[in-house]
Amino acid sequence: MLERNCREVKVREVRFLGTWDEPSDFVELTLENPGWDSYRPGQFAMLRAKRWGLELPWGRPFSISRVDAESLTFFIQVVGRGTTRLSRLTAGEDVIIWGPLGNGFSAPADTPTLLLAGGMGIAPFRGYIEKHPTPKALHLLFAHRPALDFYPYLAMSEKVGAEAIQEHSSDDLPGIIARIEAAMEEYSGGLVLACGPTPFLRTVQAHALKKNIRAEVSLEKTMACGVGACLGCVCKDGQGKHVQVCARGPVFAAADVQL
């Protein structure tokens, strides 16, 4: 199992620092930083606007995209009731937040590391690149459907070697999978980290196991508590036992999870 983060986690009320020009389905949400500078990329937080009242009783889990001295950034796609409301926060509004939660990615120095991001799975890698001890060892391969400028790809490709492949239709899929598998083989002596939709993670996991490549995958699940209590976000581990994605993940070694 990957190293667990044992720092004290508290509930904080922090201000929304951004503003919106217009409604969008892809938003970068910036919140006041409650002192999370030592978070581990791949960790996540639960967010719930204070004025949601009782109508939406759950927070929403998002991976932490990046942290600087003043702010936390979350990269969010609007998919439902919670994300719609988060994309319409007003400047200065209070957001209830608890984290950093979960374990995060391994980040060994001087190890050739391939970052495989599928769509919104790019989110945690922004902070990963910024915090990595030896970013020269990193390469980002980004597979996406909507246009590249919806994503924070540009800011990331300035810092590390990067390539993006767009899926215009399902005809593009075999080529994308072939590129992912070829790239993984180039990193067979290093480390592969993947975050994205489940079919994307399955592709990465299958190839990692087949070629015996060290890989970690970050999972996404609906969560109620985020702290391991409700058992609503479980997946099966390598032995077929239910484990909480929030507390035992969200990052799992490829061999330790059934997708």
Partner 1 sequence: MIDLRVEFAGLVLKNPIITASGTFGFGLEFSSFGDLKRLGGIVVKGLSLKPREGNPMPRVAETPCGMLNAIGIQNPGVEAFLRDKLPLLPWRETAIIANMYACTVPEFGELADVLSGEEGVAALEVNVSCPNVSQGGSAFGQDPAQIRKVTEEVKKKAKGKPVIVKLSPNVTDIASCAQAAQDGGADAVSLINTLLGMAVDISTRRPTLANVVGGLSGPAIKPVALRCVHQVCRKVSIPVVGIGGIVSAEDALEFILLGAAAVQVGTANFLRPDQSFRIVDDLPRAMIKARSDSLAELRGSLKLP
Q: Summarize as ranges the residues that interact with partner 1 (CB under 8 A).
A: 8-11, 48, 54-59, 81, 96, 98, 222, 224-235, 241-242, 247
The distance of closest approach from Cβ of residue 121 to partner 1 in the complex, given in angstroms and rounded to an integer, is: 20
The distance of closest approach from Cβ of residue 106 to partner 1 in the complex, given in angstroms and rounded to an integer, is: 24
The distance of closest approach from Cβ of residue 153 to partner 1 in the complex, given in angstroms and rounded to an integer, is: 29
Helix, strand, coil % over all residues of the chain, rounded to 5: 25, 30, 40
> Measured from the CB atom, is 54 or 69 closer to partner 1?
54
Peptide bond into 133 cis (omega under 30): no
Task: Tell me the C-alpha to C-alpha distance, in Å, between residue 136 and each of 125, 129, 155, 182, 216.
Answer: 14, 9, 15, 20, 20
Segments in the chain forming alpha helices (H): 81-86, 123-131, 153-157, 173-186, 198-211, 245-248
> Measured from the CB atom, is 87 or 157 closer to partner 1?
87
> Measured from the CB atom, is 31 or 107 closer to partner 1?
31
Residues with Cβ within 8 Å of 160's Cβ and at least 6 positions away in sequence, in order, are 115, 129, 135, 136, 138, 139, 140
> Measured from the CB atom, is 230 or 253 closer to partner 1?
230
The distance of closest approach from Cβ of residue 211 to partner 1 in the complex, given in angstroms and rounded to an integer, is: 29
The distance of closest approach from Cβ of residue 51 to partner 1 in the complex, given in angstroms and rounded to an integer, is: 13
> Measured from the CB atom, is 74 or 125 closer to partner 1?
74
> From CA 118, how far away is CA 98, in angstroms rounded?
26
* Alpha carbon of residue 226 to chain centroid: 15
